[in-house]
Amino acid sequence: MPSEREKMLAGELYLAADLELVTLRRTARRMTRRFNATTEDEADVRLEILRTLLGSCGPRLEIEPPFRCDYGFNISAGDNFYMNFDGVILDCAPVTIGENVLCGPGVHIYAATHPLGPEARSTGLESAQPVTIGDRVWLGGRVIVCPGVTIGDDSVIAAGSVVTRDVPAGVLAGGNPCRIIRPLTPG
């Protein structure tokens, strides 16, 4: 029988109150609390914490405190990833972030989701769907990326958008729900 962690990573319904998952989240909370308590003069300490917390990351990485995540180990960030203040990544499923990605302040990326039916939701079961963000993507301030979404390379998501569906490469998209506004020209 699969563990709750295995169910979570397989995208199946799982019990988030499982002791192993609670322990893993507490570890991430301790690490993010330590990260968030650093000062602007402790760039090396911040980087060391992030390299321990995240599943993988490129050589250049900057996340401004405060930052929150569920587990950390499901986050993969490419080289030259930047996340401004108040970033949140709920990484119950893999969250894959490409190279040269910029996130404005208050960007939230959610892999976690819950059943829509009230009876199923009241059981405490939840599920997760992977999120993929391509290379050279810019997520404007207060963007929310929902579970299961893929954003293609070179796209820009306008500030305040709620991305509920995949966004193709090379477009400007925005709104709630997010929709394609126009193609972007290279350069």
Would the CA dihedral through 163, 166, 167, 169 be positive or negative? positive
Task: Provide the pLDDT confidence category of residue 176 given band limits of 50, 70 and 90.
Answer: very high
Residue range 4-183 in CATH 3.40.50.1970: no
Question: What one-character-per-residue DSSP string does 28-75 give?
Answer: HHHHHHHHHT--TT-HHHHHHHHHHHSSEE-S-EEEPSSEEES-STTE
Q: How large a percentage of the chain has pLDDT more than 90?
A: 97
Q: Under a CB-based contact definition with an 8 Å cutoff, are residues 119 and 125 in contact?
A: no
Q: What's the average model confidence in pLDDT over 34-60?
A: 97
Tell me: the pLDDT tens digits for 103-148?
Answer: 999 999 999 999 999 999 999 899 999 999 999 999 999 999 999 9
Task: Name residue 95's amino acid.
Answer: V
Give yes or no: 114 in active site. yes
Query: 105-144: buried (b, 16+ CB within 10 Å) or exposed (e) per residue?
Result: ebbbbbbbbeeeeeeeeeeebbbbbbbbbbbbbbbbbebb
Active-site entry in 5, 29, 68, 114: 114
What local confidence, expressed as pLDDT, does residue 186 receive? Answer: 77
What local confidence, expressed as pLDDT, does residue 131 receive? Answer: 98
Tell me: the pLDDT tens digits for 59-103?
Answer: 999 999 999 999 999 999 999 999 999 999 999 999 999 999 999
Residue 132 and residue 117: Cα distance in Å, rounded?
27
Q: How large a percentage of the chain has pLDDT more than 70?
A: 100
Q: What's the average model confidence in pLDDT over 4-32?
A: 97
